[in-house]
């Protein structure tokens, strides 16, 4: 008896017909299609998320000081009592990613076995780098190493010494390296596998079904999806605030325009309109082109600073700090605070960075899943965890190494300027090199492009999350989220400036320490049940 489904039926009721004893399978298939069509329509997740955001905005408008005090207290509590979980979870993600890359699961394709990548490798990597953390590279590229140079992490070196310089880059590599990208990779793999290979929607709740079962189809699943939306929104508003501060600082250095709150609000408002329009053009056009453009621009400014700056110092300190990073990685990966001052340092550096990446997990994961169809798991792991970690370490060495050398040479006050305002470091470093007006103007343009690229990727992801996981959200929903992202960034700046933005990112990450753990377990269960594992050839002796 035939057990096939004939999909060549013609006529008014065009669709699959049944041959043989496949009624139950066909019913399940039809039910899945109906559920998926229903999920594609905006539903309760969208309206609940919008309601909570409106409440937050009204609260900020009515009682900003009370909201700021509550966020500050909650942020301090989370850093003191559960900050260690950020380190443990991200380290676990590294272990899982490496296991998947080198295991038999590495050959599994994220899609059907016949699927091939939609984007070229260059465009794919450019989107991974440019659309994810571009603004942070300008905001922290020189500022974080310089800050650690002036105040060495955990008191492990004397300030403003060569040991402090090596330590500064070591901890910068840690904050922006494998921990962040392994976390993104787990989210991205889980979503890409679920959507492209299993045919599910792109919701986090759907991917947790192997662990939490049918509860993910009810209110618990909706709560998780709403948490995902809020974390994505607040994680991205942090980047928007940083981007606005960088643009304002650059305009101040060139034209003397003040860096006050009004200027930052105007910048956010203007860029919000641009990135919303870009998001409406789709991933294959606006986001792809902007990502490649920003990567070329970043390479240009990086090469310029490397050549015109202290090239020998940069190359020497890179290898020394990279060696120390690799040698001490296990100890640093689980290094917790030893006192009150150490806790405060962790709260505004390591814990904040790990929490920021957690809050970005779903955003980056969905975006990585969207652009990675047709790639194998092994390709995905090496590209997502390896390439950005290497590129970012070189970036921090060039700009951080240059600013550190300027401070050590005694010809600059860049160190003291950094301690007062980290947003000033990048442009202060450029001011000591040739053609400062040209490079500063170029950097402002680059920041704006990074600004737009990251924000329109975020708009696309928020649209997906509130459209039932549909990877092609409708334009009205994209427009709503583009505008709301800008509004929330402005609100948080009004409540407490960049500090409030950081606190929002830390708080939104708290539930994700649990969610990403369950997601890793769920992914392993799904892979173990995959009946289409690549066949490994074996040789038997006769």
pLDDT, tens only, 185-198: 999 999 999 999 98
Structure tokens at 44: 């309760």
Kindly write down the DSSP assignment for every residue of 207-263, as one continuous string: HTHHHHGGGGGSHHHHHHHHHHHHHHHHHHHHHHHHHHHHHHHHHHHHH----SHHH
Helix (H, G, I), strand (E, B) or coil at 120: coil
DSSP state of 218: S
**Rounded Cα distance, 309 and 412, in Å:** 14
Q: Which one, of 106, 93, 204, 190, lies nearest residue 526 by Cα?
A: 190
363 assigned to some structural domain:
yes
16 assigned to some structural domain:
no
22 assigned to some structural domain:
no
Q: Tell me if 263 sits within 8 A of 450, measured CB to CB.
A: no
Instruction: Write the CA distances from 452 to 113, 116, 127, 338, 385, integer angstroms.
Output: 35, 29, 13, 40, 24
17 assigned to some structural domain:
no
What are 109's strand-pairing partners?
A: 376
Structure tokens at 213: 């079962």
**Rounded Cα distance, 47 and 226, in Å:** 10
pTM over 0.75: yes
Specify the pLDDT at position 53: 86
**Rounded Cα distance, 21 and 13, in Å:** 21
**Rounded Cα distance, 119 and 328, in Å:** 37
Helix (H, G, I), strand (E, B) or coil at 15: coil
4 assigned to some structural domain:
no
Q: What is the CATH number of the domain that holds 494?
A: 1.20.1740
Instruction: Write the CA distances from 243 to 199, 444, 486, 523, integer angstroms.
Output: 37, 10, 12, 34
Kindly write down the DSSP assignment for every residue of 19-49, as one continuous string: -SS-HHHHHHHHHHHHHHHHHHS--HHHHHH
Q: Which residues contact 396 (CB under 8 A, 6 or more apart)?
A: 141, 144, 145, 169, 172, 173, 176
Specify the pLDDT at position 152: 94
For helices 219-255 and 261-280, what crossing angle results, to 10°? 120
For Cα atoms 229, 376, 279, give the angle at the middle one, nearest 5 degrees.
35
Could you give the number of structural domains in the chain? 1
How confident is the prediction for the chain on average, in pLDDT? 83
108 assigned to some structural domain:
yes
212 assigned to some structural domain:
yes
Look at the block and give the residue holding tokens 């965890």.
385
**Rounded Cα distance, 94 and 385, in Å:** 9
Run of H or E including 6: strand 5-6
Specify the pLDDT at position 59: 85
Structure tokens at 491: 């609100």
**Rounded Cα distance, 159 and 174, in Å:** 19
Helix (H, G, I), strand (E, B) or coil at 267: helix
207: exposed, middle or buried (Cβ count in 10 Å: 0-12, 13-18, 19+):
buried
Q: In degrees rounded to 5, what are phi and psi of residue 18?
A: -105, 135
Specify the pLDDT at position 4: 35
For helices 288-308 and 436-465, what crossing angle results, to 10°? 150
- Domain holding 137, by residue range, is 42-527
**Rounded Cα distance, 224 and 274, in Å:** 30
Q: Tell me if 20 sits within 8 A of 1, measured CB to CB.
A: yes
pLDDT, tens only, 468-483: 877 778 888 888 888 8
Dihedral sign (CA 298, 300, 305, 307): positive
* Residues of the chain under the 70 pLDDT cut: 1-42, 130-135, 278-288, 496-498, 501, 532-542
pLDDT, tens only, 316-360: 999 999 999 999 999 999 999 888 888 889 988 999 889 888 888
Neighbours of 23 (CB within 10 A): 9
């Amino acid at each position: 008896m035939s057990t096939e489904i004939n999909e060549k039926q013609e006529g008014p009721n065009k669709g699959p017909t049944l041959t043989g004893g496949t009624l139950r399978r066909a019913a399940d298939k039809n039910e899945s299609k109906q559920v998926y069509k229903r999920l594609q329509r905006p539903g309760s997740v969208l309206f609940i998320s919008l309601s909570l955001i409106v409440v937050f905005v009204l609260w900020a408008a009515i009682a900003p000081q009370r909201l700021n005090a509550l966020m500050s207290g909650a942020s301090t509590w989370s850093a003191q009592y559960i900050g260690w979980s950020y380190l443990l979870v991200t380290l676990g993600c590294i272990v899982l990613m490496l296991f998947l890359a080198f295991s038999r699961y590495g050959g599994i394709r994220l899609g059907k076995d016949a699927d091939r990548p939609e984007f070229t490798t260059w465009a794919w990597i450019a989107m991974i780098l440019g659309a994810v953390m571009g603004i942070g590279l300008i905001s922290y590229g020189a500022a974080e190493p310089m800050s650690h140079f002036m105040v060495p992490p955990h008191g492990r070196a004397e300030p403003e010494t060569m040991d402090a310089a090596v330590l500064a880059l070591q901890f910068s590599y840690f904050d922006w390296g494998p921990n962040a990208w392994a976390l993104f990779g787990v989210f991205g793999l889980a979503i890409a596998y679920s959507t492209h290979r299993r045919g599910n929607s792109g919701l986090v709740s759907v991917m947790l079904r192997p662990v939490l079962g049918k509860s993910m189809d009810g209110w618990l699943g909706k709560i998780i999806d709403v948490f995902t939306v809020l974390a994505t929104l607040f994680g991205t508003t942090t980047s928007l605030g940083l981007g606005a501060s960088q643009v304002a600082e650059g305009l101040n250095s060139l034209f003397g325009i003040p860096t006050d709150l009004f200027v930052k609000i105007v910048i956010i408002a203007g860029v919000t309109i641009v990135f919303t329009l870009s998001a409406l053009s789709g991933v294959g056009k606006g986001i792809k082109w902007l990502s490649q453009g920003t990567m070329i621009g970043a390479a240009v400014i990086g090469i310029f600073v490397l050549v015109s700056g202290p090239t020998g110092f940069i190359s020497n300190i890179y290898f020394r700090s990279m060696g120390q990073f690799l040698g001490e990685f296990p100890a640093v990966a689980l290094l917790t605070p030893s006192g009150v001052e150490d806790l405060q340092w962790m709260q505004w550096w390591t814990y904040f960075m790990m929490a920021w990446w957690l809050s970005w997990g779903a955003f980056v994961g969905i975006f990585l899943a969207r652009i990675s169809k047709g790639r194998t798991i092994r390709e995905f792991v090496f590209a997502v965890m390896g390439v950005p970690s290497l590129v970012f370490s070189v970036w921090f060495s060039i700009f951080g190494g240059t600013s550190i050398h300027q401070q050590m040479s005694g010809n600059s006050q860049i160190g003291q300027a950094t301690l007062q305002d980290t947003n000033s470091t990048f442009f202060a470093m450029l001011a000591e090199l040739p053609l400062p007006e040209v490079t500063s103007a170029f950097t402002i343009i680059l920041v704006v492009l990074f600004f737009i690229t990251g924000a329109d990727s975020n708009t696309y992801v928020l649209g997906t999350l509130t459209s039932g996981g549909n990877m092609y959200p409708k334009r009205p929903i994209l427009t709503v989220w583009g505008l709301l992202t800008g509004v929330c960034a402005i609100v948080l700046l009004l409540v407490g400036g960049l500090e409030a933005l950081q606190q929002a990112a830390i708080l939104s990450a708290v539930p994700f320490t649990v969610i990403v753990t369950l997601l890793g377990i769920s992914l392993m269960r799904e892979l173990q049940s995959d009946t289409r594992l690549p066949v490994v050839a074996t040789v038997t002796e006769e």
